[in-house]
Amino acid sequence: MPRKATITQKEIVGAAFKLTRKEGFEAITSRKLAAAAGCSTQPIFRIYEGMADLKKDVYDKAVEFYEEFYDAAVKSHEIPFVDLGLCYINFAQKNPHLFRLLFLSEKSEGEEETKSMYDLVNGEGGHIAAELTKAGDMGAQNVQHLFMQMWIFIHGAACMAVSGDYDLADEDTVSLLTAAYHSFSGV
């Protein structure tokens, strides 16, 4: 009679996700993961053929985490892209290793299942599409170009947050995002 599995795939992914949040996925080794999951390396490799398969599951969990982070964020600003940008920058500040995994990692061969940055930020709720509509309704012309300008600004600020070079309070970030929107949109 085979021995009963004492650890599940969900538990392994959960432990790997926690390690990724704390140290980054590239820092995870099978031994470190086994220690975090409270098992030997054997169950990990019984469930996963290699770390690439595990990375896919951790990536999917990170996508879900970002979506939940965005959904939980307070959205109280009328100016388009302010809430979207504030949430993205806050995510980078609070979860730098997950931000790197989702928004700064290069795609490797065989990773066609990873989402584009646009798809990640747009999410299941169509967050970018809603902001584009809002901007158009407020009189902005060429909303696609406006989004590209805003996104370069927002992503740049988030990258600065990850590197430790962005420490502005939320109200200062809102002021900058608002000024950028008015400057880029001409509205």
Q: What number is the average pLDDT over the span 168-179?
A: 96
Residues 150, 156: Cα–Cα separation, whole Å: 10
Instruction: Round the average pLDDT of the chain to a whole number and report it.
Output: 92
pLDDT tens per residue across span 72-114 = 999 999 999 999 999 999 999 999 999 999 999 876 545 556 7
pLDDT of amino acid 111: 53
pLDDT of amino acid 106: 76
Q: What number is the average pLDDT over the span 147-166?
A: 96
Residues in the chain: 187
Q: What number is the average pLDDT over the span 163-173?
A: 94
pLDDT of amino acid 108: 54
Residues 162, 126: Cα–Cα separation, whole Å: 25
Residues 174, 140: Cα–Cα separation, whole Å: 19
pLDDT of amino acid 149: 97
Residue 116's SS3 state is: coil
Q: Which amino acid is at 84?
A: L
pLDDT tens per residue across span 3-18 = 555 889 999 999 999 9
Please give the structure tokens belonging to residue 113.
């299942």
pLDDT of amino acid 140: 94
Q: What number is the average pLDDT over the span 52-77?
A: 95
Q: What number is the average pLDDT over the span 145-151?
A: 96
Q: Which of 91, 121, 86, 102 is nearest to 20 (CA)?
A: 102
Q: In this structure, are residues 131 and 64 in contact, taking their beta carbons and an 8 Å threshold?
A: no
Would you give the DSSP letter of residue 7? S
Q: What number is the average pLDDT over the span 40-67?
A: 93
142: pLDDT strictly greater than 90: yes
Residue 36's SS3 state is: helix
E strands of the chain, at which residues? Answer: none
The percentage of the chain sitting over the pLDDT mark of 70, rounded to a whole number, equals: 94
Residues 40, 143: Cα–Cα separation, whole Å: 53
Q: Which domains does the chain have, with CATH numbers?
A: 1-48 (1.10.10.60), 61-185 (1.10.357)
In the numeric block, the tokens 């995510």 are attached to 91
126-159 CB burial, b ≥16 within 10 A, e <16: ebbeebbeebeeeebeebeebbebbbebbbebbb
Q: Which of 131, 146, 130, 129 is nearest to 187 (CA)?
A: 146
